[in-house]
């Protein structure tokens, strides 16, 4: 059976970049500027505060895992009042050892392991928009184990390091995303997949993007009336059914065009267009440049 979540992560092409140990003690606070790339952290021991812009503040405890698919600005701190020290991750040099905030001597109040990676997909912004802005998971030991493995692998130059890191990050993403898959997730792919009716339509779209789907056909697959399905899909996913279909087709088309080994008419056929010219018009309108130019830009 087609798994839309796995397909989305596969198209995102996550690649591990950087990870580090972090600790804090006493009076401390750090304010990170917006970064845009996906960031993560796992709390090894202790507690701290996390305030991500646009999200409700959270208290992180040992065993917690946080994933920010497009890391906005955020503040992390201890529990004593402190003026935040500003850090711009786009210009600050990457530390080579554990970062210590606040009091430098004595045992830390909190220890974390975190870092960031990048999505190599040219359509990352679209795909990330289907995910929650902040994913906070508590009590899933598998995620802490995976983060530790990423850190260990990243700190050595073993044979096959890049391949192992790529696979670990993919598994980390899938574990994190499926851990929050449910009706409590915000509008997006995860909430849509948690709804039994909407999930049927999503799987149909992902399994056969070249089919000339209509809202009525997708509603029939979901065993719903057209109007009820339209409202439910839009509420759960955050996009209207045909908007989601077009977005997914264009994401697949971009991936095919990047390979430079598939003829334009074959790309058009695989994403549901009867001719290369019809596809080119739709692609240009959606992406802002013709498919040939997009492929050459690579």
The CATH number that applies at residue 105 is: 2.60.120.280
- Give the domain range for residue 235: 189-297
Please report whether residue 248 resides in a domain. yes
Asked if residues 74 and 68 have their Cβ atoms less than 8 Å apart, the reply is yes
Same-domain status, 214 and 92: no
Strand pairing category for 85-87 and 29-32: parallel
Same-domain status, 81 and 33: yes
Q: Show pLDDT as tens, one digit a residue, over the chain (298 residues).
A: 568 878 887 877 777 667 778 999 999 999 999 988 888 888 888 999 999 999 999 999 988 889 898 899 999 999 999 999 999 988 876 666 788 999 999 999 998 888 888 887 766 776 677 778 888 988 888 887 887 787 777 767 788 877 787 778 778 777 887 777 655 567 788 888 888 999 999 999 998 999 999 999 999 999 999 999 999 999 999 999 999 999 999 989 988 988 777 899 999 999 999 999 999 999 999 888 999 888 887 6
Same-domain status, 175 and 194: no
Asked if residues 44 and 134 have their Cβ atoms less than 8 Å apart, the reply is no
Give the CATH number, domain containing residue 257: 1.10.10.60
Boundary of a domain, candidates 157, 179, 201: 179
For residues 269, 273, 276, 281, the Cα torsion angle rounded to the nearest 10 degrees is -150
Q: In the chain, how many domains are there?
A: 2
What is the model's pTM?
0.73
Same-domain status, 75 and 135: yes
Same-domain status, 28 and 105: yes
Which run of H or of E encompasses 49? strand 39-52
Boundary of a domain, candidates 179, 199, 226: 179
């Amino acid at each position: 059976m087609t798994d839309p979540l796995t397909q989305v992560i596969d198209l995102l092409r996550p690649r591990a970049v950087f990870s580090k140990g972090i600790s804090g003690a006493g009076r401390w606070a750090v304010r990170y500027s917006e970064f845009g790339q996906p960031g993560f952290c796992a709390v090894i021991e202790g507690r701290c505060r996390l305030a991500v812009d646009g999200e409700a503040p959270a208290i992180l405890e040992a065993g917690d895992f946080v994933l920010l698919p497009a890391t906005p600005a955020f503040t992390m701190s201890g529990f004593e009042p402190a003026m935040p020290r500003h850090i711009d991750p786009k210009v600050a040099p990457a530390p080579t050892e554990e970062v210590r905030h606040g009091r430098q001597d004595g045992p830390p109040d909190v220890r974390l392991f975190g870092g960031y990676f990048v999505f190599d997909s040219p359509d990352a912004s679209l795909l990330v928009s289907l995910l929650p802005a902040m994913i906070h998971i508590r009590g899933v030991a598998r995620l802490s184990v995976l983060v530790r493995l990423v850190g260990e692998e990243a700190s050595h130059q073993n044979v096959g390091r890049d391949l192992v890191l790529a696979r670990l990050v993919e598994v980390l993403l899938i574990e994190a995303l499926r851990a929050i898959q449910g009706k409590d997730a915000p509008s997006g792919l995860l909430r849509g997949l948690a709804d039994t009716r909407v999930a049927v339509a999503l799987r149909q779209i992902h399994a056969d993007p070249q089919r000339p789907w209509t809202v009525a056909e997708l509603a029939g697959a979901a065993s719903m009336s057209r109007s009820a399905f339209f409202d439910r899909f839009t509420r759960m996913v955050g996009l209207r059914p045909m908007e989601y279909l077009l977005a997914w087709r264009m994401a697949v088309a971009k991936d095919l065009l990047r390979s430079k080994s598939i003829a334009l008419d074959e790309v058009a056929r695989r994403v549901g267009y009867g001719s290369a010219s019809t596809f080119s018009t739709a692609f240009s309108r959606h992406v802002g440049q013709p498919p040939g130019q997009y492929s050459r830009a690579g």
